[in-house]
Structures are given as C-alpha cells and as structure tokens.
Structure 1
C-alpha cells in the first residue's frame, strides 16, 4: 500500500481484517504472506479528507494490530533535489522539530534528514517582504513572483520549468491574474477556475439581479465590483446612496462614466445574448479573456439544446462552478501554478513559494464535539467552536483542545515540508518581514524562517538571503508553443440579419418569431456561397 499516511481510520479499520486473514494464511507455495506499507508521515496533508498520519507513526513504532513482527526500513536517499536544497531542508526541519509539543511529531522531524544523490548545484532564495496588511500582501507577492520569473528568463530558464505553489486557491488566482496581466502565459487547473474570475461573478450577479432586483446582497456585490473597477473617488458614499434606489434608477450613476446599461435588456434577450450584452456594456473584455470565453461556452452548451431561464442556468452554475476550469496544454512558455496539495508527489526544476506566512496553529475555523453536563441528558454532546477557554473546561475538553492544537501544528508543518521539497534545482521562498515587540512571530512561517536564520548565524536584518549558487537551470525539454488569442469579438444581434430568440418571444409572436424562419433561409444561402468558394469546381 503506497501513500499510507493519507489512509483514513475508516479505511484502515475496514482493511485490517482482510490483511490479518491474509497474513495468517499460507500461499500456494507454503510461504507466509506479507504486507508492505509505504509512506511518509511528514507528507500527510489530507486530514480534512480523513487522512490520519498517526496510524502510520504508530505502526512503525511497534503498535501493530497484527500478530507478526513488523520490519521497518528507512529510505535515506533523496533522488529529486540538489545537494543544497536537501541540506537546507534537513537543517530547517530539524530546527522546527524542537517546536513540537507532541514527542512523536518531534521525533519524526528530528530524524527526517536525507542524503542527496544528485550532483547538481542547488540554490535557495528566501525573501521577506514588508507588507502593511493582507490586501497589501496580495499585491506585493504576485509582483515579486513576476520579478523572479523575469530574472529566470534572462538566465535562459523556460517558463515550463517554473512552478508557483500556494496554500490556497485565492492566492493561486491572485498570482495567475497578475502574471496574466503582465503577459506571462500560465497553466493551472485550480487558479484558472472560471468561478475565480471577478468578471464572471459580476455577470452572474447581474443575471440573478434581473430576477431578484430587491436582493440587497446582490445590490451590494454589484456596486462593490463597479466602484472598484471604475475607481470611484468616494465609493462608500456612492454605495450608501445607491443601495436602496428603485430599480429604474439603480444604474443611473453609471452615465457619468459613459456607461449605459438597462436591466430590462437582460430580461428580453436570450441567456447568451444577455451575457454578451453585459460584457459589451461594461467593457469587461479589452482583449481575449479565457475566463469569460469559457463562461460563454458554458452558457452556450447549456442553452443550445433548449432555451433555459436565468434561474435554471444559475442552478447549473451552482452544480458546475467548482469544476469548470480553463484547459490549457503543457507548453514550453507557460508557468505552472498550483496549490501545495495538488503538487504532492511532483517535482519541478524551479519552485516559487509566495505567501509563506501562514499561521502554524490556526484553529479559527475549527470545532470540537464535547460532552455536555449530565443534567442535559437529552443532548449528550454539542459542537463547540475551538477556543483557548476549553483548557479550563475540565480534563476531557482540555485534552481535546490540546490535541487539536498539536494536529493543526503538525499539518501546517507538513504542508510546508511538501512545498519546500518539490524543487530539484532552485527554491524561492517569499515570506513577510514581520515582528511583534521586536521578536519574530513564532506562530507563523515567517517567524520560523527568521528563527532558523538566527540559529545558523545568518540573520542580519536584510530582506533577502541566498544559499548555494544561482546557476542556469537545466530544463526538461520543449513541449510546444502556447496560443495567445488577442481579440474578442462581440456585437449585438438587434437590427441584424441573425437573431437569437428567447422562448417567450417564440411563444407570444413578435418580430423575433419571424426571425426564426428568416435565419434558416439566410444560413443556407451563405453556406452555399461559402461552399462555392471552397469547392468551385463542384
């Protein structure tokens, strides 16, 4: 069994009887059966899916559910990364091991050192950015990533040899959006989710607003997007003044910005035409936009067989929004962007890890099941938001809270371990220059990095630290060239030969209904002309 550290308790408990039966039986050749479990508890990052590294730790520490004696074999060699990267990770995670409260976690990282097998020269760059707040961080880190990519390109590094790793999809999208604005080709299955596009969400809001014009949440979302995009000088005042306006006056203020938009148009057009009307009205596309094109393709796909209502489309969107992404081929001139969870098991010549400043014991979104007092017998347990106050709620609650802290810390360090062990030649870590009362924040990755540099007598207060030699990257070969569409064409169908008709127009009879018959004749006519040009002799 491979990747055993990600096996859930339920999976393991279901398999144990089957394995025990096999181990206690004999094979056809009178040989005892065997079981091989392969894993690395330091790479257990799927606890949210039920993965439980503690099972693996217990097994190789002698706590086996089977009667036969286990044999533990350590695999000491690293065949992926250059010497400098392996030695940096050995040293860094050995330093971190002392921070663990739980002995089994501490021992795991104390003994995690590997021996490098590659002879190539490695390079590590640790940068600390001065950020004022989370929003400022979202601006500086993508810009720094772009700067690093530019420097690598000047050295002759192919973009396909560069991978940007992030903790969250939001961070991936921030980097992807910035690089895309700078003309850098990117490939990503997560950061290129269509639902991550603010423009797509804005169109969706307007479509929903056309059927729920009194929804204040929708009104706020639409106004919030517009004041940011149009760079309104006093956004708060405009939102307050407009939020509760009647529908017919809600978009009047846009006239000052040269924008004319009528909500009634959305109700009268087909779904596809309504989306294009929004795009044209607000100039959402300056050049080709893959997110919007994929979104329009999705609308076309869902409405091509039969006309659908906005309500039906929004139901489809809820079903597919987390899966619908832009598919891009692997090319030689595209940077890969992915979350750390997706990168597990992969390697890249160059890894850039921005936003390396997450909290180590972040339990702000965690809850615990705890027993209630006996006098509430009808409700024996309750689901509580994790809080430090639980340490004073008795032994059971205090132990549950401490276990949660230990596991959260372990999982956070595991994610960091996976991120820092993906690079084979160069590793760039972008953190934050952050101190509290003159001391590094030990509860954040930035504090661990600063503390480590201090322990190595390398900390000088500077913003950048280099380990190894920055030599040209040896690439993995040429994959092909990316396509860069430049123009997006959209024009209204009103008063044109071709008309897209809404279902209501067909039912009630109108000029649109006449177009249904006319468009077929014109289509046949133009197709004949086209065929005559292609096959003149036929």
Structure 2
C-alpha cells in the first residue's frame, strides 16, 4: 500500500475495521512473500475492547479461509465483500495455496497473532521488564480489580474510628462535608459513602494519569491568598484527607496480597518507558520485534496510553516499520477513561515522528456509509451538520448562560465534514417522535414504557423482525435495568448486558437497610438510609427531602435512638408499616419475615419494573435459609461480606436466549450495528455534573486538584474560569458524541423518542 504513516478519519458505518483488517493482511502477505521469519510477531494490532479484538481475529481467519477455499460459503464474505482481499492476493502474486499455508501457520502459532487490547499489550510489556517499572512484578503476581480492596480498606478504616483520634477526625470531617452537600445523595451507611468517594477520587487519578497533590492540600491555607479560589479548592479537602487515609490502607493490602490493580497498568508502563532509554531493550524482553503498529478507534486513546506506545512506534518507523490507525472524533465517548480525541486530530494534521517524510505520509477521509439506509443517513446528516449544531448551541435556553462562542466553534469543528454518502439502495424507515412525560412517570416510568411499546407494536416491529435484530439503546445502566425488567415482564425475551450484582440495585439496597434496622434498632444510619430512599418516599407519600431535613434537625439526638424520635413524630406511619415487622423480627423464619416486609411496604405494587430483581432476591434468601442461615443477622453478614464464594450468590445472570431483544448502554453498543434500533429517550444528559461543575478534577503542576465551581466564583477568578471552560467543553462534546453514536447504530429502521415535560 506504499505509505508508512497512514491515518484514516471516517464516520459511523464507513468500514474502519474493514480497512484495519485489509492493512493487517496486506502486511501479512508482504512479510510472507519476503520469506520473513516469525512474521506474525512483527505485527501488532491494538483495539480498545476484548470484543473488538475477538471480532478482528475472527475476520482475519474467515477471510483467509475464504481465500483458501473460494467455494466455501461464509456469511458476509461473498461477492464484493471479498473482492478487495482477492485483489490483495493478486498484488503480491499469491495463490489460494499460499493463503492456506498462512492460515495453517496462524493456527499452529495462534498465540503469536498479536491482535489485542491496549491493556493486554501493556500487561505483557510490564511483565517483561519488572524491575524497571519500580514495582516487582512476576507472572505469579495477581492483577486485580480494585473494587474488593477499596471496600476492605474502608472496613479497616472504620474499625479504627473508635481507637484512633486522627482517623476519627478525618471521618467526622468527611461526614460533615457530605451533610453540607445539597445535591449529594447520602446512603447513611458510612462505608458506602467512603467507598463511593474513594472510587471517584481514584478514577480521577487513573484518568488523568497523575497523583493527587496531597502536599498542596496539607498547606492549603498558607499558599492561597485569594478568598474565592480558597473556597473553591478547600471544598473537597475533607474528601482528599479521607482518600489519603483509605489509600494508605489499600497500599498495605496490596503489598500483603502481592497484587497490582488493573487500572494502574498504564501508569506502571509509563514508569518503564521513562526508565528504559532504548526501546530495543523492551523488544528484547518481549521476545519479539514489532515493526508494524495498527490502532483501531484511536480517538479513545488516553495520553498515558499514547506515551507508552510512542517510543516503540518511533523506533519501528526508524527501522522501516509502519504506523496505521483509524478513528473518528465524533465517536469519542470515553473521556471518563481518559480518552483524548485531540490526540487523533493532531496525528491527522501532522506526524509527530521524525523518521517520516512527507512522501511516506497519507491522511484519508472516508465519506461513504455502508451501514445504514438513506432515510437514516439523510436525517443524521441534517442533525449532526456543523452549522445546525452551532445554531442549536447558540439558541438553546439551557446553554446560553454557560457557553461562549469559542466553545460553540470548537464543538462545531468536531462535526465539520460530517456529512456521509449513501451506499445502500434498500428502503428503510425512520420514526422520530415526541412523547410527553405525564405525571406519575417518575422513577419507574412504567406508563411511559407502555406508551413507547405501544408505538413499536403499531409498526409491528416485533412481528416483522426477529427479536435478535432489535436493540434498545439507553444512556445509563439503571435505564438498561429498568427496560430489561419491563420487557421481561411483558414476556419479551431479552439479551441484556446486565450481569449484575443485585447488591447494587437501589431497591434491594433500601430493603436490606430496612432489614438491618429491624435486626438492629439502634442502627440510626440504617433507618436514616431507608426513610430517605425511593421506596419509603413512594410508600409514605412524603418527599425524601423532608426526611433529610428532619434528620438534620435531629442531629443533636445522635447519641439516642433515631427510631424513637421517628415513632413519636410519625406515629401513623410507624403503626401502618413498621410496628408489625418490628415485633416479628427474630420470631419468624428469615424467608417468611422478608415476605412480610415486602408485602407490608407494597414493594411489587410500587416497583413492578423491578420484579426480576425482587424475585431473585427472594430466591437468594430462600437458598440461604436452606443452608442453615435462618436469621436476619446471619443473612446480613453474607450480604456485607466480599469474597468469591459470596459474590457468585448475588450475581443475577439472565438466561441465554437465541432469539432475544438486545438492551444495552450506548457505550456498550460502540462499534456494533443492528437492523433495528430503538432509542426510548433521546436526550443530551445536560445535567448539573456538566454545567454546575461542582466537582472538577484538574491536573495542575503538583498533581491533581479538585475545584468547586459556582457562577459568582468564576466571575472573580480567572483560574476557575479556565478550568470550568475545559470541563464544560469536554462534557458537552462527549454528550453530543454519545447521541451521534446512538443514532448511527441502525441498519434498516430507527425509532427515536424525544421525552418532553
């Protein structure tokens, strides 16, 4: 193909993965033709998900099979779809016998087929150069998910509350800070809040590939003179202090258990690249010499990932190697993982590598869309036109107080030249319809779901297509759970991305807090957690905010029993819902007691969409009772305990059904396509997280600092104004990109519902 530096920019459905596979086979055939020894080891193709890596391997094998045995019928490998690869064979004067030999070689050396995720490559890189990483790693050392260790570390910290004055002060300050957060959803179960905030701060460190500037926070009052700026950064000082203490516990656990966390791998790899002057040493340790680098979905690459690859690619190019990547900034939706689409745009404009001459460079834009029908492409061309988006941004009432012309133009630039050409001649269908959100649609939104399902039935969607051809796309995981439950309740089989720990379901968590209170009436946190939750809000008809205020008012009674105050002030509610289970706990068997509580609080009536979770919860309790766990207290110990045996008991797996409707988040659907796509709620998540920007992690000179932003703060502080603008631009662009990804997944029919009210 001639070019050693080749960058392809292409929109949805333009065949980016196909181009990547074509490039992979081009290099493979070339190396085979030149009788290159161990030719598989010289090529590395990087994807960003395991599913994408599996798909690419599968495509390579299928194409080689088809080229080796032309008469072999292989789905999606007929006619024009294989012609481009046949021409490649002719270019190198190869025959089907050659492709058969290549295929045989791959099968016998499958582990050398380097098509893998960036994390997988980084892992092998770290294991190959252990001492340079500053961490002693061996193949026997575990690479773990940090979730278990965060929860365990929080447990250890809480245990120190009664014996260590420093820990007590840190936790007290943390709780006071939470109580002062107007919009903060507090669980009233301290460990939950500790672990949630720990995960949030740790995520900031991993995404920005930098540590928190603890030194700055330790002397915050002495180094900042500006009062407004001081208020902004001091807001999160109690959280930083808490995170520092939890992190110390985590580091001790890691050393004892000999583990590193999977989210740390890129930062460890960066240490390797800094400490190893010559990339050849890394290749030597890896046992291979990679000369050809190919990267899929480059717009999702983080800066630290690119830093880890850069020197290796530079070295390969200096020795005659090649670099090829494909991407689309409009589909950059992984900013929460550190993805920086600006890196892709920079690569497209100018090669950063010294060894590439102008004649060896090629940048290419693909305008065709091979996926969707004309009706869908034409609609998306109008909606995601740069001028249209800029007009909407300027005219939006929601946005006018937040954005300026610079932000408008920068978002518009992402969608310059976004128009796509229609390739398919098939007839398709598009429905974009406003649907009013009526009273009573909050939370479960059950009636809303019914009306959307009715509209789909009006068009006989489930009759005209196999259920496996239909995909519902949602913005949030909780919406996936709700729609999965709703469709199952209507007898529609579902293949969902949910393999969920039921302990994360909000309704079951509230029920467990209620059980915890009945088991231990002195546990004020459990009662507070339950009465401020969604279940009791529906049961009582009283806004949960009223109960938050009531708890705040009764803080002075924290040394006493909160339930006695509740019983006194809400006697009618106590007698109606709490009194009978309160007397029955400890006397009824565990399962019978649970059924009594669920009936008393009308759980099934109020949350019909949660039926699968509730039924599974009943099964869990029933099975535990059969194992001799017969009291509420014993069950709660199992619920709270974290470990492999306990984890499996609480995992809800949906049964595998061949012909089932798919329900998934937009992020999960990235790179996929479906004959029919339903988007039940078309909206930009223009929420307080983006606009109010009350929590803004930002990389400064000494490390990460956290800023609290208010409009009047920004008026008087240029630093806050600058940080806020970056935060807003990134968040708003990503929201528009999410909508673009959702609207471009459909092949034949698209049903999109715009929620009003």
TM-score, scaled relative to structure 2: 0.48
Superposition pairs of residues 30-49 of structure 1, within 5 angstroms: 32-49=320-337
Equivalence for 1:502 = none
Equivalence for 1:351 = 677
Change beyond 3 A, Cα 1:2–1:271: farther
Q: Provide Cα deviations, 1:116-161, integer angstroms capped at 9, x if missing partner.
A: 2222222221212333689558455423321233223475333332
- Structure 1 residue 7: Cα displacement: 1.1
**Root-mean-square deviation (Å):** 4.4
Measure, in 2, the Cα distance between the counterparts of 1:6 and 1:390.
33
Measure, in 2, the Cα distance between the counterparts of 1:234 and 1:410.
38
- Structure 1 residue 34: Cα displacement: 0.1
Superposition pairs of residues 371-386 of structure 1, within 5 angstroms: 382-386=705-709
Equivalence for 1:440 = none
Measure, in 1, the Cα distance between the counterparts of 2:496 and 2:703.
46
Superposition pairs of residues 411-422 of structure 1, within 5 angstroms: 411-422=734-745
Change beyond 3 A, Cα 1:233–1:315: closer
Measure, in 1, the Cα distance between the counterparts of 2:504 and 2:746.
27
1:91 maps onto 2:385 in alignment? no
Superposition pairs of residues 423-462 of structure 1, within 5 angstroms: 423-433=746-756
Superposition pairs of residues 205-354 of structure 1, within 5 angstroms: 205-220=513-528, 222=530, 244-245=563-564, 261-263=580-582, 266-267=585-586, 275=594, 278=597, 289-296=611-618, 309-316=634-641, 324-332=651-659, 334-354=660-680
1:119 maps onto 2:407 in alignment? no
Measure, in 2, the Cα distance between the counterparts of 1:393 and 1:382.
19
Change beyond 3 A, Cα 1:90–1:226: closer
Equivalence for 1:367 = 695
- Structure 1 residue matching 2:430: 3-state secondary structure: strand
Equivalence for 1:143 = 450
- Structure 2 residue matching 1:72: 3-state secondary structure: strand
Measure, in 2, the Cα distance between the counterparts of 1:202 and 1:370.
34
Q: Provide Cα deviations, 1:234-292, integer angstroms capped at 9, x if missing partner.
A: 899x98899734899999968768x9843465546776676566557767669995323
Measure, in 2, the Cα distance between the counterparts of 1:254 and 1:331.
48
- Structure 1 residue matching 2:681: 3-state secondary structure: coil
Change beyond 3 A, Cα 1:423–1:87: same
Measure, in 2, the Cα distance between the counterparts of 1:432 and 1:225.
22
Is there any run of 5+ residues in structure 1 with no aligned partner, and where? 26-31, 435-538
- Structure 2 residue matching 1:424: 3-state secondary structure: strand
CA contact (8 A) 1:141 1:430 kept: no
CA contact (8 A) 2:535 2:603 kept: no
Measure, in 2, the Cα distance between the counterparts of 1:24 and 1:189.
44
Measure, in 2, the Cα distance between the counterparts of 1:134 and 1:405.
32
Change beyond 3 A, Cα 1:393–1:216: same
Equivalence for 2:315 = 21
- Structure 1 residue 366: Cα displacement: 5.2
Measure, in 2, the Cα distance between the counterparts of 1:192 and 1:145.
25
| Residue correspondences, number | 420
Equivalence for 2:720 = 397
**Structure showing the higher helix proportion among its residues:** 2
Greater relative contact order, per chain length (Cα 8 Å cut-off, separation 6+): 1
1:81 maps onto 2:372 in alignment? yes
Superposition pairs of residues 193-208 of structure 1, within 5 angstroms: 194-195=502-503, 200-208=508-516
- Structure 1 residue 19: Cα displacement: 0.9
Q: Provide Cα deviations, 1:304-357, integer angstroms capped at 9, x if missing partner.
A: 88858345323237995999333231342x432211111111112221212223
CA contact (8 A) 1:124 1:428 kept: yes
- Structure 1 residue 71: Cα displacement: 1.7
- Structure 1 residue matching 2:563: 3-state secondary structure: coil
- Structure 2 residue matching 1:73: 3-state secondary structure: strand
Measure, in 2, the Cα distance between the counterparts of 1:413 and 1:198.
28
Change beyond 3 A, Cα 1:292–1:394: closer
Measure, in 2, the Cα distance between the counterparts of 1:323 and 1:64.
50
Measure, in 2, the Cα distance between the counterparts of 1:323 and 1:76.
47
- Structure 2 residue matching 1:19: 3-state secondary structure: helix
Change beyond 3 A, Cα 1:135–1:303: same
- Structure 1 residue 299: Cα displacement: 5.5
